Structure 1
Amino acid sequence: MTETDDTTYTTYDLHEQIGHLLRRAYQRHTSLFQTVIPDDHLTSVQFAVLATVFREKEGSLIHIGRITAIDHATLRGICSRLKQRGLINIRGNPDDRRERLLSLSEKGMEMVRTYLPQAARVSELTLEPLDACERIAALHVLRKLAE
């Protein structure tokens, strides 16, 4: 190892790394979600799927995956669990038998309607340490990074 390599390694501060900070912020958000939403079996990612299907009324697995930015294999597992809980319906598309269509069950609709205000509160609590300008800036930067 050269002297330059030593300097590089000693100046690396984990607490200044974007990946670490994003993960910590996400952990905080997840903890707030679990505290605010009174369902021990519902994750924030599962709720994102439910809320998206609620907004779309019905959508293909591929379409919902694109909107939520969840890969196909992970989304299939999430949808399987949501279906087992009776929250979503999954049916084949009569026009394309390879395609699976998602919609909310009545129980799923009721859950989303109940939890939407609480989920919005989770976002408020996540951003609570920031002032109004910082909130706008944080969301702007995160949108850019997510592109």
Structure 2
Amino acid sequence: MEDSKQYILDAQIGFLLRRAYQRHTAIFQEHIPDDHLTSAQFAVLVTVQKLHTASLVQISQQTAIDHATLRDIVSRLKKRGLVKVEQSKQDRRQKLVSLEKEGALLVEKTIPVALQVTELTLAPLTECEHVAALHILQKLSLTND
């Protein structure tokens, strides 16, 4: 096979995105004050805080977490007493999620650290690269729905 046709794994976008995400996740787990809080759980909590009360569909759309995974995350957060789940009065098929007091306190305590995690993740980049990286990732994350 010619060199120009070789598939070099560590030069592929998927591989590099996965490695960057693994690095970010390690930084998140190292710095977040709650040992049992994952970045996906934090994303759900922040989204519920922003929306006050949200359906699973809304949370899924905002967090880009598939519905099956989201149900599991919400169930874990509920077991920890961080969120409350109720049936919608308007549409009994929908579950509505809101923060319990403990969940709201955890979000408030975690946000400053999460902002620091973002800075630590981007630390190897210059300020210009930081802006460019976020812009490029936002562009790549757009869907064609």
Shorter-chain-normalised TM-score: which range?
over 0.9
The alignment status of 1:40 with 2:35, answered yes or no, reads yes
TM-score by length of 2: 0.95
Q: How does 1:61-100 map to 2 (within 5 A)?
A: 61-100=56-95
SS at match of 2:87: strand
Structure 2 unaligned segments of length 5 or more: list them. Answer: none
State the shift of 1:8 in Å: 6.5
Partner amino acid, structure 2, of 1:71: D
Aligned-residue RMSD, C-alpha:
1.2
Runs (4 or more) in structure 1 with deviation over 4 Å come to none
Aligned counterpart, 2:104: 109
Bigger radius of gyration: 1
Query: Partners of 2:121 and 2:46 in 1: how far apart?
Result: 19
Identical residues among aligned pairs (%): 55
Structure 1 unaligned segments of length 5 or more: list them. Answer: 1-5
State the shift of 1:15 in Å: 1.0
SS at match of 1:89: strand
Query: Partners of 2:4 and 2:53 in 1: how far apart?
Result: 51
TM-score by length of 1: 0.93
The size of the alignment, in residue pairs, is 142
Aligned counterpart, 1:135: 130
Query: Partners of 2:121 and 2:113 in 1: how far apart?
Result: 12
Query: Partners of 2:5 and 2:88 in 1: how far apart?
Result: 57
Q: Deviations over 1:12-65 (max 9, x none)?
A: 211100000000000000000001102221101100000111111111000010
